[in-house]
Amino acid sequence: MVKDVGCWKWENLSFELPSSTISSILGVLVDKDSQKEDIPVWQYNSKGMVDVKTAYFFIMGCLDGEKDNLRLKGINVQNNCPICSSHPETLEHLFKNCVVTKQVWNSVRGIVFTYTLWSIWLARNRLVFDKKVFTHNTVASSALAKASEFYHLQPKNKVDKRMITLSIRWNPPPSGWVKINSDNSYDPE
């Protein structure tokens, strides 16, 4: 997103960002003299891509090993879910059975599954490490924003542009009704 002169390329965004997000991005210092290219932080798979399997194993390792590692270092950690405090924290509980997580899933109907998991994970970590409380609406909104950003940043030339032809037969209106027929089409571009 950084031009040669060290500025953000805002024109590449296909949607408007909230002012708080823009302020956060502007707060990132950019080294104008750096000759290095930006690189992804995640490791690539054997095909050179970051995939769901890699992300899944990353999350599994983080949650399953986090509390055990802290206990090995002599730190007393709570076993219950930090979100609802009523059940032991497991991946299944965090992503499926927690009462707050259920509210998140009910709020995002149809949203990209991966972004919802990621948003729940980030909200959980902000609660555990930064003591920042969240609502199911903020998590659902975050997942929706991330999914929308991903969609809008995809190359537009991959869209399937096959035409769909529908044959529709005219039917007269019921008695006492007037029917107005029109002919139109829709081109999303």
CB 115 within 8 A of CB 143: yes
Q: Does residue 166 lie within any of the structural domains? A: no
Q: Does residue 63 lie within any of the structural domains? A: yes
Euclidean distance between CA atoms 139 and 135, whole angstroms: 7
Q: Does residue 7 lie within any of the structural domains? A: no
pTM value is: 0.38
Q: Does residue 54 lie within any of the structural domains? A: yes
Q: Does residue 50 lie within any of the structural domains? A: yes
For 66-100, the pLDDT digits (tens) are 676 777 777 777 788 889 989 888 878 888 899 99
**44-58, 84-98, 101-115, 134-148: least confident range:** 44-58
Q: Does residue 72 lie within any of the structural domains? A: yes
Q: Does residue 49 lie within any of the structural domains? A: yes
Crossing angle between the packed helical segments 136-152 and 113-130, to the nearest 10 degrees: 130
Domain that holds residue 72: 41-77
Q: Does residue 146 lie within any of the structural domains? A: no
For 42-74, the pLDDT digits (tens) are 566 666 666 666 666 666 666 666 676 777 777
Domain count, the chain: 1
